[in-house]
Structure 1
Amino acid sequence: MKKRNSYPPEFKTKVVLEILAETFTINELAAKYHISPVVLSRWKNEFLDRASEVFKKGPSEDAKELEEKKEHISALEQKIGQLTYEVD
């Protein structure tokens, strides 16, 4: 059974930009990087599908989620402080 390779986002971006530059075909780049053309096509499609997110206004979903988690941690810390005070 063949092990699945995991590639960092920076590498995927570099390869997709090469695809979009159209200097080489997907098949040529697949041979160059020893990655299936199907995988490269998937990376390209995902890149293009999500490209408009770069230009969206307001906080990203990740930023919203991070803020919610910070608030949750703060509430838990307050609860810990309250319970510690009650025990002492």
Structure 2
Amino acid sequence: MTKRKNHSPDFKAKVALEAIREEMTMAELSKKYGVHPTQIGAWKRAAIKNMAAGFSKRGSDPAQVDDATIDKLHSKIGQLVVERDFLKRAWDR
């Protein structure tokens, strides 16, 4: 049994871009890069699906965390630290 191949994001983007250009068939790309045609098709679909994110403004990034979420997470961390310290003191008794 062969070891599973892990391709870099740069390699995936390069292959997907060539697939989008359609200068070569999937079979030719598969032979050229040693990747199954189905995998190339999946990379192509993912590239097309995520292409709009490259043209969005910086401020409208959905992954950007707002200040309210950060404050909520900091309060949760504080609560967990207090609980941990309490349980540690109770265990030591």
How far apart are 1:13 and its partner, in Å? 0.6
Q: CA RMSD in A?
A: 3.0
How far apart are 1:5 and its partner, in Å? 0.7
Separation (CA, whole Å) in 1 of partners of 2:25 and 2:11:
17
How many residue pairs get aligned? The number is 80
Separation (CA, whole Å) in 1 of partners of 2:28 and 2:35:
10
Counterpart mapping for 1:38-57 below 5 A: 38-57=38-57
Counterpart mapping for 1:7-86 below 5 A: 7-57=7-57, 58-61=60-63, 63-64=64-65, 72=73
Greater CA radius of gyration, 1 or 2?
Answer: 2
Separation (CA, whole Å) in 2 of partners of 1:25 and 1:16:
12
**What SS does structure 2 have at the residue aligned with 1:23?**
coil
How far apart are 1:26 and its partner, in Å? 1.1
> Gaps (5+ residues) in structure 2?
82-93
> Gaps (5+ residues) in structure 1?
81-88
How far apart are 1:19 and its partner, in Å? 1.1
